Structure 1
Amino acid sequence: MTVYWFMMAWVILFGILAQVSARRVCVGEYLGEDIYEPRVHLFVAVVTFAVIIFFAGARTHVADTTTYINIFNEYPLFQNAHDIIFDSSAREPGFRLFSILIKTYISDNYTVWLSIIALISGICVMFPLYKYSCNFGVSAFLFMASCQFTWMFNGMRQFLVAAIIFSCTGLILKNKTLLYIIIVCILSTIHKSAFILIPMYFIAQGEPWNKRTMLFIGCIVLAMLFTSKFTNLLTDVVEQTDYASSVNEFKSTDDGTSPIRILVESVPIILAFIYRNKIKDKLTPIIKLSINMSLIASGLYIISKIASSGILLGRLPIYFSMYNLILLPWLLKNIFEDREKDLIYYIMILCYFGFFYYQMVITWGGMGYSSQLLNLEI
């Protein structure tokens, strides 16, 4: 845990520095007056995430990393890779092509490969927070404390897709539907679960609590009422798709979503619902989108708990839950009065520290870190 505590301390320190040195910019209008929010300097934002990117790239034996390294080492060079790249029976052709190109034209060292993936993932998470979060320091802390950062150490292929699509938030806000769908289709060659982003794109559009989102909530309720039938139907559907070949993989690496995780990830949407009347006139486009994305994430977490067959569902919410990193700081800023905010922030920090300890130490046993490059075995 030493590495992860160091990462946490680094993110907190530079997150505070980022917020202290932030400049105020106009982000919209409320009741005829311009709304100003702090936005951090890009360099400090990059430094804040640099520690996560560095340790993610330098790792050797962390969770599923060994499997990925073995796969990378077995890839041939591009000149001899035709059969590997175009093997119709294998998954993720885009990921194979991307990896083979790195091995051929950049380096055959797996650390370089892992570092490139970590750099892309980290920057793609950092940039929307830098651009849209009203409190980058809190958002960076939440990324660590909610344990979303662990995706860069375990499950990196799916997180690479999730991070890239998160960086495309501007396309959703600008209604660039065709371009968004094209990007999703390309990313689906890295991880096929990306296809879920297409229908969810239309659910996430528009005002919070609109007919589409309420229909989504209705589907969740029905799934809860007809648990066994829903689970059997879901299993039948999944087994007839490309996910069938990954069922065993997910059964061995994901034992379902815990109620504590569901509660933690649902806090922002619960607050947004309770105080919906208070914030309805303050909503900016990014916050409207974040509320809808948060609702989708919570709904998928609940469904993954209902369908406790371990068929990948517990991993789908990562495509949407990163919007909580933008939403929660905004809610704390706009819901509570100044005299209440300090107490609320203290409570939030303590609760997330508690969750971080619970998830990392109790549930995952410390998620040991190993790096041949750094000569570390912790």
Structure 2
Amino acid sequence: MTVYWFMMAWVILFGILAQVTSKRVCVGEYLGEEVYEARAHLFMAVVTFAVIVFFAGMRTTVGDTTAYIKMFGDYPLFQNAHDIIFDSSAREPGFRLFSILIKTFISDNYNVWLSIIAVISGICVMYPIYKYSCNFGVSAFLFMASCQFSWMFNGMRQFLIAAIIFSCTDLILKNKTLLYIIIVCILSTIHKSAFILIPMYFIAQGEPWNKRTILFIGCIVLAMLFTSKFTNLLTDVVEQTDYASSVNEFKATDDGTNPIRILVESVPIILAFIYRDNIKDKLTPIIKLSINMSLIASGLYIISKIAHSGILLGRLPIYFSMYNLILLPWLLNNIFDKKEKDLIYFIMIICYFLFFYYQMVVTWGGLSYGSEILNIKYQWH
């Protein structure tokens, strides 16, 4: 796990530097006074995320990377790709076209291809955090420690969508519904699961704990009460998606999302609910949206556990859980006073380190990393 510990150390070091060199900006008013929050400088934000992007682009063997590399190698050049691009029986034509264009006009080296995807994903995650997080360093640490970074190494196609739509946060805040839906439809050509973003867009609008979010909570309760029927419905739906082969292969052992991950990802929404009266007058538009997105993520995680579907539903919360990277630092800054805050931050860091170790070592067996170009081959034993 040497590579990942190095990445963690880099993110912590430059995350701290990013926060130390941050500037104070006005984000609104509270009780008639202007409210200021820290915002990192763009250069420091880029440097902090650079290490994740670098190792994601240089990889050869991590998770499903080998299969992706083979797929890229099998793609023809653009002038010979008509049948592959327009094959109606194949899924996700947008990703095929994107990859073929890179192979034809940029490079047929798979590390160049992986690096381009890593750069896009990394920037799209970094930018909303840089723009909205009151503590960029903590947000970057959470991205690593919660293991959300691992999507850039394993599951990159779906994460590419999640990152791009995360970077479109302004469209939600400015109620640019049509443009948002158009972007989602385009992204669905990369991964069909993107369509879930359309109904969730309307649930996430408005004040926290409004009628739409309460209705969503009601749906979770119904799923708990009618687990067997819900699971059968889920099975019928998944057979029509690109997850079908994976689900059929692993459904006998798929016990849903790990309860520990559900707990970790639910901490922000639990805090937001417990202290809702304390923070209701301090909420900014981005925090309102983040609370609703966090609720959706936790709800999907719970449903995935109920339905024993970690492979299908357990992957969907990544479209929403990245808002926790903005929400949790804000909650810690606005719920606790200065004396409590230092202790809470210390406890949070220790707990997330423990989760990082548990997820990476115990659950994933070290998450092996290999890179031919860097001459690195790490295999957990």
TM-score band, normalised by shorter chain = over 0.9
Which aligned pairs between 1:106-185 and structure 2 lie closer than 5 A?
106-185=106-185
Equivalent residue number for residue 215 of structure 2: 215
Cα shift at 1:250:
7.0
**Preserved CA contact (<8 Å) 2:256 2:306:** no
> Does structure 1 conserve the Cα–Cα contact (< 8 Å) formed by 2:254 and 2:309?
no
Query: What is the 5 A alignment of 1:264-303?
Result: 264-303=264-303
Shift of 1:249: 6.7
Superposition map of 1:355-374 within 5 A: 355-374=355-374
- Tell me whether 1:247 sits opposite 2:247 in the alignment: yes
After superposition, the Cα gap between the structure-2 partners of 1:356 and 1:100, relative to the gap in structure 1 and judged at 3 Å, is same
What secondary structure sits across from 2:209 in the alignment?
coil
Give CA deviations for 1:238-264 in whole Å, capped at 9, x if unaligned: 334565455347759976310000000
Structure 2: distance between partners of 1:254 and 1:113: 32
Q: Which amino acid aligns with 2:206?
A: G
Q: Secondary structure at the match of 1:63?
A: coil
Q: 1:246 to 1:357 in 2, by over 3 A?
A: closer
Q: Is the 8 A contact 2:18 2:137 kept in 1?
A: yes
Over 6 Å off, 4+ runs: none
Q: In the superposition, relative to structure 1, how do residues 199 and 358 fare at CA in structure 2: closer, same or farther (>3 Å)?
A: same
The alpha-carbon deviation at position 173 of structure 1 amounts to 0.3
Distance 2:357 2:258 in 1: 15
Alignment correspondent of 2:16: 16
Instruction: Tell me what 1:236 maps to.
Output: 236
Gaps of 5+ in 2: none
TM-score calculated relative to the size of structure 1: 0.98
Q: Aligned partners of 1:138, 1:131: CA distance in 2, in Å?
A: 14
- Give the match for residue 56 of structure 1: 56
- Quote how far apart the aligned CAs of 1:169 are: 0.2
CA distance in 1, matches of 2:286, 2:301: 22
SS where residue 88 of structure 1 aligns? coil
Shift of 1:152: 0.2
Paired residues for 1:32-51 under 5 Å = 32-51=32-51
Q: Report whether the alignment pairs 1:344 with 2:372.
A: no
CA distance in 1, matches of 2:121, 2:227: 35
Displacement of 1:233? 1.8
Change (3 A) 1:288 1:364: same
Partners of 1:164 and 1:341 in 2: CA distance: 33
What is residue 87 of structure 1 aligned with on the other side?
A: 87
2:255–2:305 contact (8 Å) kept in structure 1:
no
- SS of equivalent to 1:67: helix
Hey, what's the Cα distance between the residues in 1 that align with 2:22 and 2:194?
34
Structure-to-structure mapping, 1:178-197, within 5 angstroms: 178-197=178-197
Report what 1:65 is aligned to: 65
Count, aligned residues:
378
Q: Does the 8 A contact of 1:251 with 1:310 survive in 2?
A: no
RMSD value, Cα? 1.4
Paired amino acid for 1:207: E
C-alpha displacement of 1:187: 0.3
- Answer yes or no: is the 8 Å Cα contact 1:254–1:314 preserved in 2: no
In structure 2, the residue corresponding to 1:26 is in which secondary structure? Answer: strand
Which deviates more from structure 2 when the two are superposed, residues 235-244 or residues 40-49?
235-244
SS for the counterpart of 1:256 is: coil
Which residue of 2 is the match for residue 31 of structure 1? 31
Gaps of 5+ in 1: none
> Is the CA contact (8 Å cut-off) linking 1:254 and 1:312 kept in structure 2?
no
